[in-house]
A and B are shown apart, each in its own frame.
Chain A
Amino acid sequence: MYSDKVMDHFTNPRNVGEIENPDGVGEVGNPRCGDIMKVYIKVEDEIIVDVKFKTFGCGAAIATSSISTELIKGKTVDEALEVTNKSVAEALGGLPPVKMHCSVLAEDAIKNAIKDYRAKNPAKSSI
């Protein structure tokens, strides 16, 4: 039911872990629903220089977390804000319909991490 790309990211997830003293943290989901994603970002001159994640969830939740870290690493904060659940799913070669909510979680986790960064660094805000 999962694409090879999903299985690749599930089996070898990229950027797993935490960042000490991150510039932004985004957490979405809750354990009741069986999905929690936590994304940590390190930002230098508006560029996301490092990103890590920890996820409690199904195969799709882990794969969407992993690919979304790849999609935003090295990008500017504004570019990262353009990542949508659709682009996450497309980057994975598609997701089964019942798993599309995992890509929504991934988008929300990134957005929340950036929101957290913006809140801590209001002067740098460009939006």
Chain B
Amino acid sequence: MEQRIYLDHAATTYTKPEVLEEMLPYFTEMYGNPSSVHSFGRETRKALDLARDRVARAINADSNDIYFTGSGTESDNWAIKGVALANREKGNHIITSSIEHHAVMHTCGKLEREGFAVTYLPVDKYGLVDPELVREAITDKTILISIMTANNEIGTIQPIKEIGIIAQGRNIIFHTDAVQAIGSIPVDVNEMNVDLLSISAHKFYGPKGVGALYMRKGVKAQQMIHGGAQEKNRRAGTENLPAIVGLGKAIELAVTDMPARNTRIQSLRDRLIEGIMSNVDNTLLNGHPTRRLPGNVNFSFEFIEGESLLLSLDIKGIAGSSGSACTSGSLDPSHVLLAIGLPHETAHGSLRLTLGDQNTEEEVDYVLEVLPQVVQRLREMSPLFNQQEGGKTYV
């Protein structure tokens, strides 16, 4: 294996050198606690404020409404549990979709076990939530709507603005998990009419282990982590300053470079989709044909299983991911692929390839050469693949 091709940017990205460069002094030279009164503390407090301003600017928010967290998952947990628990006297109903990230799904599940009622809205075959269904699901007990901006598996971009208008009209708090969206599509909390928005740095060339939650002024949410007075008394714990500095730099770069970067990534995406769809029979493109993240490709190859596909590609130096059960750690394939209506056996044969800013046309062409061979080899081993029938039917 000579070359390695990374096509799993939705899982995580590398940290950009210029991001790392800004982070480094905060490990060794500027290590003061931002809560301290002395000069060591003051210089890191300044860095904390700058990072907060950068996040705010990137999503057109007020700096006072940005809170740093340990991850996108923590942001989702805080938004959902925090709002639910703080607004319990108003009602116990939450509306979300059936294709949310586990950070939202499992948090809602926990709340259900504690007496909340959760509506998981269906999606269409492209993974889109119909805003009208959101409107219809609202009851006088609804206290929170949480719909992701863009899906991590199939890349479908939701009509957040329309859902936001509905939420606003009924005075219901609206949260969106924008973890996959930042740096990939424009995100503007006012344009989108959202009250809470989750961010994770390592999805846009920042470091792992740091996230942020946008929480509009006036939103009532319970505190999740108790202790010191950090983050305006709402999220305790000494700030992970190097990581927060990295998040600030990364989000600034992600938003500034967005148009040029995404034009390039999207053309690679379309080359990959076009090349595979026209060369491999019995293949589905999962997600929306146009309303999808610029770097997201998700196929289902009939008659084969995703993990063996990933292993085969890995041997050839190509890193992707799959929604098959064997890669999810459970017996069922991805809930997202089932929600868009795929039968189990087709969902098991899914492959997600997510492009990033370092991928090249040569790499895409290499995938276009290798992937059809790998699929063919696994199909020849599969009892589901009937060669006599030209592979058109299950045997």
Q: A residues near B, CB below 8 A?
A: 2, 7, 10-11, 13, 16, 27, 31-38, 54-62, 98
- Complex: how many Å from CA A37 to CA B380? 13
Q: Is the CB of A36 within 8 A of B383?
A: yes
Interface residue ranges of B338-384 to A (CB < 8 Å) = 344-345, 348, 380-384
Q: Is the CB of B383 within 8 A of A54?
A: yes
Contact among A7, A58, A62, A98 with B324 in the assembled complex (CB-CB below 8 Å): A58
- Complex: how many Å from CA A35 to CA B324? 11
Q: Is the CB of A54 within 8 A of B381?
A: yes
- Complex: how many Å from CA A44 to CA B254? 68
Q: B residues near A, CB below 8 A?
A: 303-308, 311, 315, 324-326, 329, 331, 333, 344-345, 348, 380-384, 394
* Candidate in B303, B344, B381 with the most chain A CB atoms within 10 angstroms: B381
Q: Is the CB of A34 within 8 A of B383?
A: no
Given contacts A10-B311, A56-B303, A61-B305, contact A33 B325 (CB under 8 A): yes
Given contacts A33-B325, A34-B326, A34-B348, contact A59 B308 (CB under 8 A): yes
- Complex: how many Å from CA A34 to CA B326? 8
Q: List chain A residues, Cβ under 8 A from B311.
A: 2, 7, 10, 59
Q: How far apart are B98's CB and chain A's nearest CB, in angstroms? A: 19
Q: How far apart are B336's CB and chain A's nearest CB, in angstroms? A: 16
Given contacts A10-B308, A61-B305, contact A55 B383 (CB under 8 A): yes
Q: Is the CB of A58 within 8 A of B344?
A: no
Question: What are 11 of the A-B contact pairs (CB < 8 Å)?
Answer: A16-B381, A37-B383, A54-B383, A55-B382, A56-B304, A56-B381, A56-B382, A56-B383, A57-B305, A57-B308, A62-B381
- Complex: how many Å from CA A107 to CA B329? 23
Contact among A16, A27, A31 with B345 in the assembled complex (CB-CB below 8 Å): A31
Q: List chain B residues, Cβ under 8 A from A16.
A: 380-381
Q: List chain A residues, Cβ under 8 A from B331.
A: 33
- Extra contacts, 6 of them, besides A31-B345, A31-B348 (Cβ < 8 A), are A16-B380, A38-B383, A54-B381, A56-B304, A59-B308, A61-B308
- Complex: how many Å from CA A38 to CA B311? 21
Q: Is the CB of A98 within 8 A of B345?
A: no
- Complex: how many Å from CA A59 to CA B308? 5
- Complex: how many Å from CA A37 to CA B384? 10
Q: List chain B residues, Cβ under 8 A from A54.
A: 381-383
Contact among A31, A37, A38, A62 with B344 in the assembled complex (CB-CB below 8 Å): A31
Q: How far apart are B383's CB and chain A's nearest CB, in angstroms? A: 4
Q: Is the CB of B315 within 8 A of A34?
A: no
Nearest neighbor of B307 in chain A, beta-carbon distance: A58
- Complex: how many Å from CA A2 to CA B389? 35
Q: How far apart are B375's CB and chain A's nearest CB, in angstroms? A: 13
* Candidate in B303, B308, B345, B394 with the most chain A CB atoms within 10 angstroms: B308
- Complex: how many Å from CA A54 to CA B385? 10
Q: List chain B residues, Cβ under 8 A from A27.
A: 383
- Complex: how many Å from CA A2 to CA B239? 39
Nearest neighbor of A55 in chain B, beta-carbon distance: B381
Q: List chain B residues, Cβ under 8 A from A98.
A: 329
- Complex: how many Å from CA A56 to CA B381? 7
Q: List chain A residues, Cβ under 8 A from B308.
A: 10, 57-59, 61-62
Q: List chain B residues, Cβ under 8 A from A36.
A: 382-384
Q: How far apart are A13's CB and chain B's nearest CB, in angstroms? A: 7
